[in-house]
Amino acid sequence: MEHLTDKEFERVCTHLSRTLGLNMRSKRVLLDCRLSRERNRLGLPSFSDYLDLIESGTNPEAAARFIDLVTTHYTYFLRERRQFDFLRTTAFPELEASRPRRTWNILCAGCSTGEECYTVSMIVEDYRRGRNLPPVRVTGIDVSEPALEEARRAVYPATRVDKVPPRWLTSYFTREGDGFAVVDSIRRHVSFARANLSDPEALRRRYDLILCRNVIIYFDEPTRERVLDTLHRHLALSSYLILGHAEIVRDRKRFAYRGDSIYQKRSEETHS
């Protein structure tokens, strides 16, 4: 198998940084392996031909597969469970007091194959019991179209629901062939859209809660700051931004730290 040369690797990294804000410099083996297979599949004689094709933007299907190959989609239901306990014990009671009648808008940025959005919707459904809550809308965005297709299908093999509590499995899933399908009462609160977070115009509205977990860790430093700016701008005052455990916000003027990688927006001050 032909490997990426230093020059080709540099070209891939520059393209990924420019278009998606990804820092893939430590992932050479992974890129080499995944992109070699893809180049062979397309029957292209060299990496340069493959990169010409991707950079030209003339083949949307190849471009979508390229994005899917260079991104990491690992996720599971109830990932970092304590953050979901925080929703139940703190974020939702606060929203119930501050927005008793208006729709709660929740964003999962970098939602991958949908498990995070459906987990939020299931937590909401549990919380709703015996309460008179307003409508809740969960929006999942991701740059990978194949991941979003899987999210919209909402059918998961048994190995992907093994961390789901038995009560949820019986209440919020039905069997579909060998898989487990999320029920309509959970799905109807959730929608998905393709968006590139490194684009400052990626978001359209303000949210009452944002989860952006295990996403900014893949970005280069300028993109990370730009994305945090965007998320700050699109988060309601006093609302929460939930990150992954390896991700931090240094700017404590705009965000107060509440533990467990959870930040509360404390001012409207912007950087620009």
Q: Which residue's CB is nearer to ligand SAM, number 73 or number 99?
A: 73
Residue 112 to residue 43: CA distance in whole angstroms = 29
Find, among 175, 180, 149, the residue nearest to 163 by Cα: 180
Closest CB 50 distance from ligand SAM, rounded Å:
20
Range in contact with ligand SAM (rule: CB under 6 A) among 89-97, 108-116, 160-168, 180-188:
108-116
Q: Of 78-97, which residues contact ligand SAM (CB under 6 A)?
A: 79
Q: Which residue's CB is nearer to ligand SAM, number 226 or number 265?
A: 226
Strand partners, 243: 212
Q: Of the candidates 12, 13, 20, 106, which one interacts with ligand SAM according to CB under 6 A?
A: 20
243 binds ligand SAM (CB under 6 A): no
Torsional class of 140: left (φ above 0), alpha (ψ -120 to 50), beta (otherwise):
beta
Q: DSSP labels for 240-254?
A: EEEE-TT-----TTT
Strand partners, 272: none
Output b/e per residue, 103-116; b: 16+ Cβ within 10 A: ebbbbbbbbbbbbb
Strand ranges across the sheet with 136-142: 190-194, 136-142, 104-109, 207-212, 235-243, 262-265, 255-257
Total binding residues for ligand SAM by CB under 6 A? 24
Closest CB 213 distance from ligand SAM, rounded Å:
4
Q: Of the candidates 17, 214, 230, 261, which one interacts with ligand SAM according to CB under 6 A?
A: 214
Q: Of the candidates 213, 224, 232, 234, which one interacts with ligand SAM according to CB under 6 A?
A: 213
Residue 151 to residue 146: CA distance in whole angstroms = 9
Helix (H, G, I), strand (E, B) or coil at 48: helix
Q: Which residue's CB is nearer to ligand SAM, number 169 or number 217?
A: 217
Find, among 49, 22, 21, the residue nearest to 35 by Cα: 49
Range in contact with ligand SAM (rule: CB under 6 A) among 27-35, 45-53, 69-77, 90-98:
69-77
15 binds ligand SAM (CB under 6 A): no
21 binds ligand SAM (CB under 6 A): yes
Q: Which residue's CB is nearer to ligand SAM, number 180 or number 218?
A: 218
The binding site for ligand SAM (CB under 6 A) comprises 20-21, 71-75, 79, 110-112, 116, 142-144, 147, 196-198, 213-215, 218, 244
